[in-house]
Amino acid sequence: MTKNEWLAKLDESGWLSEVPATEAERIRRDLAGAAPDAPSWHHVLAAGGYDSESIENSGDYRKWVVSAYVDASCGAFKPSKVKDVVNLDKGVATVSVELGDRTFQKQFQQDGDVVADGFHEFMNEVVAATGEQRRFHELPTGDQTAALAFVTPSVYRRAKKLGLVPQESWWKFW
């Protein structure tokens, strides 16, 4: 498949219509500069990302992870008063965000420096509670990084069905 064919399929999926115009233009520009091999082209769909092994202290969720979700949303997700308390000795992390007039808080089992299991789902629960139809999606990266996109589940499923996003992440096989 050529880049033009891939881009046409992306448009067919509804992705380019669902993201802000500036984000659609960034995707087109990044695709034009991407390597010639189609298996990596889905990386251009990520508007935000983080290293999943970045949690060492309180403040790291706010600084590295929640900020990546904000970036991925292209301005649609703007939490305030983001706070996190990480206690590696006890193996727990508590994260809270304020969105509108609501506060969302969750405690996670913190296993070392890796972003806690269930954190991604928590971010989507917060977004869903606002009535937003789009959700965060983790794009396969093949390594310890997280690449995030923000589109409706139906658009994401269409993109996968059209072969634009690989079906599984590498880590799901471990």
Residue extents of the structural domains in the chain: 3-173
Spatial separation of the C-alpha atoms in residues 109 and 94, rounded to whole Å: 9
Q: Tell me, rounded to whole angstroms, the distance of Cα 30 from its chain centroid.
A: 17
Which pTM does this prediction carry?
0.92
Spatial separation of the C-alpha atoms in residues 20 and 6, rounded to whole Å: 19
Which pLDDT belongs to residue 91?
Answer: 96
Cα 19 to Cα 52, 103, 122, 145: the distances in Å are: 25, 26, 22, 22
Which pLDDT belongs to residue 1?
Answer: 87
pLDDT in single tens digits along all 174 residues of the chain: 899 999 999 999 999 999 999 999 999 999 999 988 778 899 999 999 999 999 999 999 999 999 999 999 999 999 999 999 999 999 999 999 999 899 999 999 999 999 999 999 999 999 999 999 999 999 999 899 999 999 999 999 999 999 999 876 544 433
Contact 117, 109 (CB under 8 A): yes
Angle between helices 21-32 and 3-13 (to 10 degrees): 160
